[in-house]
Amino acid sequence: MSNDSSLKEVATDRGFRIGATLNAQSLRNDPSYWKTVRNEFNAITPENALKMGPLRPARNTYDFTDADAIVDFGRANDMYVRGHTLVWHNQLPNWFQAWEYTDEQLETFLRDHIHTVAGRYRATVDAWDVVNEAVADDGTLRETVWADAMGEKYLDRAFRWASEVTDATLYYNDYGADAVNEKSDSIYTLLSNLLERDVPIDGIGLQCHFLGDRPAPESIAENIRRFQELGLDVQITEMDVAFTAGDAPDDRCQEQAAYYRAIAEACLETGCDTLVQWGVNDANSWLRQFKDFPERYTDDPLLFDDNCDPKPAYHALTDTLIDG
Ligand code: XIL
């Protein structure tokens, strides 16, 4: 295969999924964004549109406009669609805080939410992040509205409810657990326990937001392997590579490329067949959204620059998928 092939072509050719996270507004309004996604990726994840806040304007209503637009775009282009996410503690609807629910009401609400959302996309979403970020940074179960009402069993229930309405593969997804470390140890125990209780979980998503921190690729490979040995599929679900502001190397694009290459190599070596970057091009990276982020991190973490031109990291990934 020649080097003129797109990332999507070289990935597809070797059975690899290379993904990007999408927002509906850019898809509608920005032709170069839309073309980049269509030509360069064979997998997508809606960045926000499938989260509970955006989907639930009021307690008994849904707004699927943006979610449908993104999922339809993925299907129309033969892409693998990751659904993100059914249960999370962030981006809850605004009305949620004022709601004085009982534990039972909350449980019923979550069940209905999962049944409705995962059910609606049963034929169109291939994989779901059923539960996102349930483990706190110290490795304990994160205190959330869900844990508060149901304890650890909220995970069991969420996966079971999802499996009742869809055949999509079902993932647990988290950050800071990409390499072997205390947090991934805790998640390993949590997921082992779910499997022991026969909870229908198929895999784990390693977010891989590398913000200032680039764990040894060998440790990431080792981490991937141990989850695979549990019988779980492992995917890289939200990758980006940024440097601590003020501490970025002069050749940061090259260093970023080298790290993307190392992670792609770890994927090929372990048989992890899905790598999704969190955004399409630098201009719409989530790192640009928050006031404090540009002070903390460099804000060009993706494969395409502000103009949707491919960066060294893009070529590093393409070469790795051709040669690796
Ligand atoms: C982020 C989105 O990118 C932002 O647009 C939004 O304002 C906040 O959430 N981990 C996750 C993602 O699982 O859902 C987060 O997405 C980034 C961190």
List, by residue number, the catalytic residues: 133, 238
The yes-or-no verdict on residue 294 having pLDDT over 80 is no
Average pLDDT of the segment spanning 60-70 = 98
Average pLDDT of the segment spanning 38-58 = 98
CATH class for the domain made up of 7-323: alpha beta
The yes-or-no verdict on residue 2 having pLDDT over 70 is no
DSSP string, 65-106: HHHHHHHHHHHHTT-EEEEEEEE-SSS--GGGGG----HHHH
Residue 284: band (very low, low, confident or very high) from pLDDT cuts 50, 70, 90: very high
**Using CA positions, which residue lies closest to atom 12 of ligand 1?**
47
Residue 281: band (very low, low, confident or very high) from pLDDT cuts 50, 70, 90: very high
Amino acid at 223: N
Q: What mean pLDDT value characterizes the chain?
A: 97
**Using CA positions, which residue lies closest to atom 16 of ligand 1?**
47
Is the CB of 159 within 6 Å of ligand 1?
A: no
- Residue with the larger pLDDT of the pair 294 and 225: 225
Q: Which of 172, 301, 323 is nearest to 245 (CA)?
A: 301
Average pLDDT of the segment spanning 59-87 = 98
* Residue 282 DSSP symbol: G
**What pLDDT sits at residue 324?**
79
Dist. CA 141–CA 147, nearest whole Å:
8
Is the CB of 286 within 6 Å of ligand 1?
A: yes
- Answer yes or no: are the C-beta atoms of 288 and 297 closer than 8 Å: no
- Answer yes or no: are the C-beta atoms of 45 and 94 closer than 8 Å: no
Angle of helix 182-196 relative to helix 217-229, nearest 10 degrees, comes to 10
Condensed to tens digits (0 to 9), the pLDDT of residues 151-178 reads 999 999 999 999 999 999 999 999 999 9
Is the CB of 277 within 6 Å of ligand 1?
A: no
- SS3 (DSSP) at 206: strand
- Give percent of the chain above pLDDT 90: 95
- Answer yes or no: are the C-beta atoms of 139 and 184 closer than 8 Å: no
Using alpha carbons, list the distances in angstroms from residue 146 to 19, 110, 222, 225, 262.
29, 9, 31, 30, 37
Distance between Cα 90 and ligand 1 center (Å)? 9
**What pLDDT sits at residue 3?**
62
Q: Which of 139, 212, 208, 211 is nearest to 179 (CA)?
A: 208
| φ, ψ at 53 (rounded to 5°) | -60, -60
Domain ranges for the chain = 7-323
Say which residue the tokens 């991190």 belong to: 297
Mutate to test the pocket of ligand 1, among 238, 282, 284, 293 (most ligand atoms within 8 A of CB): 238
- Residue with the larger pLDDT of the pair 81 and 296: 81
Is the CB of 289 within 6 Å of ligand 1?
A: yes
**What pLDDT sits at residue 1?**
45
The yes-or-no verdict on residue 269 having pLDDT over 80 is yes
Say which residue the tokens 């249960």 belong to: 87
The pTM for the full model equals 0.97
Average pLDDT of the segment spanning 298-303 = 96
- Give percent of the chain above pLDDT 70: 98
- Residue with the larger pLDDT of the pair 149 and 291: 149
- Answer yes or no: are the C-beta atoms of 36 and 308 closer than 8 Å: yes
